[in-house]
Structure 1
Amino acid sequence: MRLANYFAVFSNRRIAAAMFLGFASGLPLALTGSTLQAWLSDAGLDVKTIGWFTLVGQPYTWKFLWAPLIDRFPMPFLGRRRGWMVLTQLLLALAIAGMGGLNPQQHLPTFAVLALLVAFFSSTQDVVIDAYRTELVHHEERGAAAAVNVFGYRMAMLTSGALALILADGFLSWQQTYWAMAGLMAVMVVVSFLAPEPTVAVRPPLTLEEAVIEPLREFFSRRGALILLALVVAYKLGDAFAGSLSTKFLLDMGYSKSLIGQANKVFGMIATIFGGFAGAVLMVRLGLYRSLLWFGLAQALTNLGYWLIATTPAPGKELLFMAIGLENLAGGMGTTASVALLMALCNVRFTATQYALLSALAAFGRVYVGPASGYIVDTFGWAQFFVISVLVALPGVALVWWMRERIRALDHDPAA
Structure 2
Amino acid sequence: MATQRPKGWRLLKAALQTRKSSIMLAFGFSSGLPFALLIGTLNAWLGEAKINLATIGVLSWIGLSYSFKFLWSPLVDRMPLPLLERIGRRKSWIVLCQAVMIAGFAGLAATNPATNIGTFAIFAVIAALASATQDVAIDAWRIDVADEQTPVELLSAIYQFGYRIASIVGGALALVLAARMSWSLVYLLMGGLIAVIAVIALQAPDTPRPDNDVLHKELEEPGALDPKARGFALAIVGVSWAWAIYTIGHFMISMLTTAPGEKQPSVADFTKHYGPWIILATVLVPLIVSSLINWLRARKRHVLTKADHAHTPLRNALNHLYVALVAPLGELSARLGWGVLIVLGLILTYTLCYNIWSSFAFPFYLDFLHYSKDEVAFASKVFGIFMTMIGIALGGYLFARLGRLPTVLIGAILPVFGNFVYADLAEGGPKLDSVAGTIGLTQLFGLFGFDERMVRLLLAISYENISTGIAGASFVAYLSGIVSKRFTAVQYALLSSLTFLIGSLGRGIAGEAFDTYGYATVFRWTAAAGAFAILFVILEWMRVAAEGRRAEEDTAAKVDEPAKA
What range describes the TM-score normalised by the shorter chain of this pair?
A: 0.5 to 0.7
How many equivalent residue pairs? 379
Instruction: Identify the residue that residue 351 of structure 2 maps to in structure 1.
Output: 240
More deviation, 183-192/198-207:
198-207
- Please say if 1:298 is aligned against 2:304: no
More deviation, 211-220/46-55:
46-55
Distance 2:408 2:492 in 1: 23
Distance 1:80 1:263 in 2: 41
Q: How does 1:363-374 map to 2 (within 5 A)?
A: 363-364=500-501, 366-367=503-504
Counterparts in 2 of 1:321 and 1:191: CA distance versus 1, 3 Å: same
**Per-residue Cα deviation, 1:369-388 (whole angstroms, up to 9, x for no partner):** 8899x9xx99x999997676
Instruction: Pick one of 532, 537, 545 that aligns with 1:393.
Output: 537
- Please say if 1:157 is aligned against 2:157: no
Q: How does 1:257-296 map to 2 (within 5 A)?
A: 267-273=383-389, 294=403
Deviation at 1:262, TM superposition (A): 8.0
Counterparts in 2 of 1:34 and 1:146: CA distance versus 1, 3 Å: same
Distance 1:112 1:295 in 2: 41
Deviation at 1:68, TM superposition (A): 1.9
Instruction: Identify the residue that residue 6 of structure 2 maps to in structure 1.
Output: 7
**Per-residue Cα deviation, 1:30-87 (whole angstroms, up to 9, x for no partner):** 5444443444555566667666644555534443332221122134235432221111
Deviation at 1:128, TM superposition (A): 2.1
Counterparts in 2 of 1:194 and 1:357: CA distance versus 1, 3 Å: farther
- Please say if 1:63 is aligned against 2:69: yes
**Per-residue Cα deviation, 1:129-165 (whole angstroms, up to 9, x for no partner):** 2333455558997776665545543442332333223
More deviation, 186-195/40-49:
40-49
Instruction: Identify the residue that residue 87 of structure 1 maps to in structure 2.
Output: 96
Q: Is the 8 A contact 1:45 1:105 kept in 2?
A: yes
Counterparts in 2 of 1:369 and 1:99: CA distance versus 1, 3 Å: closer
Distance 2:162 2:123 in 1: 25
More deviation, 313-322/53-62:
313-322
Distance 2:466 2:416 in 1: 13
Instruction: Identify the residue that residue 406 of structure 1 maps to in structure 2.
Output: none
1:333 partner letter: A
Deviation at 1:182, TM superposition (A): 0.6
- The 3-state SS of whatever aligns with 2:86 is coil
Uncovered stretches (5+) of structure 2, i.e. residues with no partner: 216-311, 422-429, 440-458, 514-520, 549-565
- Please say if 1:21 is aligned against 2:158: no
- Please say if 1:97 is aligned against 2:106: yes
Instruction: Identify the residue that residue 216 of structure 1 maps to in structure 2.
Output: 322
Q: TM-score, normalised by structure 1?
A: 0.64
1:91 partner letter: V
Instruction: Identify the residue that residue 260 of structure 2 maps to in structure 1.
Output: none
Instruction: Identify the residue that residue 473 of structure 2 maps to in structure 1.
Output: 333
Uncovered stretches (5+) of structure 1, i.e. residues with no partner: 283-289, 404-416
Distance 2:176 2:377 in 1: 16
1:301 partner letter: I
Distance 1:346 1:183 in 2: 41
Q: Is the 8 A contact 1:134 1:343 kept in 2?
A: no
Structure having the higher Rg: 2
Deviation at 1:321, TM superposition (A): 7.7
- The 3-state SS of whatever aligns with 1:7 is coil
Instruction: Pick one of 488, 494, 502 that aligns with 1:357.
Output: 494
**Per-residue Cα deviation, 1:288-309 (whole angstroms, up to 9, x for no partner):** xx97x94664342255556788
Deviation at 1:88, TM superposition (A): 0.6
Instruction: Identify the residue that residue 176 of structure 2 maps to in structure 1.
Output: 166
Q: Is the 8 A contact 2:65 2:128 kept in 1?
A: yes
Distance 1:335 1:156 in 2: 24
2:34 partner letter: P
Distance 1:138 1:339 in 2: 27
Instruction: Pick one of 171, 180, 191 that aligns with 1:182.
Output: 191
Distance 1:367 1:49 in 2: 13
**Per-residue Cα deviation, 1:151-185 (whole angstroms, up to 9, x for no partner):** 54344233233322321222x22322121011111
Distance 2:341 2:505 in 1: 16
Distance 1:331 1:51 in 2: 23
**Per-residue Cα deviation, 1:92-133 (whole angstroms, up to 9, x for no partner):** 112212332344567665444323221221222122223334
Q: Is the 8 A contact 2:64 2:501 kept in 1?
A: no
Distance 1:344 1:195 in 2: 33
